[in-house]
Copies of this chain bind each other. A is one copy, B any other.
Amino acid sequence: MLTAIRYEPGTLYLLDQRVLPAEERWLALATASEVAEAIRCMVVRGAPAIAIAAGYGLALAARRGSDLDEAARTLVAARPTAVNLRWGVDRVRQARDIEAAARDLHDDDLRVNLALGEHGATLLDGGVLTICNTGALATGGHGTALGMVRSAIAHGRDIHLYACETRPWFQGARLTAWECAQDRIRCTLVADGAAASVLASGRARAVVVGCDRVARNGDTANKLGTLNLAVIARHFGVPLYVAMPWSSYDPATATGRDIIVEERDPAELGGYQHGPVDAWNPAFDVTPAELVSAWVTETGVVRVLGEG
């Protein structure tokens, strides 16, 4: 099974997702702060995957006898938006056997994704539009939104995935396309600007995305561009499904307004290196709950029943 995270006592190996698919380079990390830096600079990305990596970061700190509270703070601070990061670090920090807890977190994530995929499989058929990478590379294996696609295919559904490039990091073009090629999932890459064309032409009949934090009221933070897809899906009468492991649900955050959206270096945007103009580079956006058709979790499909 495709994996991007391997742990051996004292060393965390991460597949460097900044250079895929041109190169399959594994980095070996020995300390929690190395792990935090790898999360910050996107060697590893995807809400579940950064939680798993951070759990192992604590395991590295425990093995070296480092201050676990300080390690936990450093890891949680690496990226602000995904709530899984804090959740994973808290869960591992509270355990007696830190290393075993980190492994459990990793193993559980795969089980969660397989269960989530089963619940979501029947929602998908035919063309499906997605954004970013929500597959094995973004998780402990199988994936969340891409996991639903994998499960649907396993159930014999004739899925054709349309993957948005996902600027500025090209997670769709580089990572989802690569995963699909590895697993022979039928996948057509499109520019982010083609989303409306994909739906208007009937190529896709559902949109499926992951999430980084879902507020108590269902407002959903996910990769920048998700709100575009949500509005466009609603316009064309196409359902939007959010693959949401419960570790991404944050009842402590009341609404989307309370979610901190990470703003990254403008230099990630194209042409910026040559031009003296300003740039705005939020890594996420927040989709209001009313634009989400259902949240697919490891325990079942959650729908908000409308006023009607």
Contact = CB atoms under 8 A, between A and B. Distances in A.
A225 B191 contact: yes
Interface string A151-194: 00000000000111111101011100110110000111111111
A270 interface: yes
Nearest to A181: B276
A178 B273 CA distance: 11
The 4 closest A-B pairs by CB, nearest first: A193-B225, A173-B271, A173-B270, A196-B227
Interface string A201-234: 0010000000000000000000111111011101
B228 A189 contact: no
Given A166-B193, A193-B225, A277 B181 contact: yes
B271 A21 contact: yes
A180 B168 CA distance: 21
Contacts of A198: 280
Nearest to A189: B279
B271 A174 contact: yes
Interface residues of A: mostly helix, strand, loop or mixed? mixed
A272 B173 contact: yes
A281 interface: yes
Given A232-B231, A279-B189, A194 B285 contact: yes
A278 interface: yes
23 contacts: A21-B271, A21-B274, A162-B280, A165-B168, A165-B271, A167-B167, A167-B192, A167-B193, A167-B270, A173-B272, A177-B275, A186-B278, A188-B279, A189-B277, A189-B278, A192-B225, A193-B224, A194-B225, A196-B227, A197-B227, A198-B280, A232-B232, A234-B235
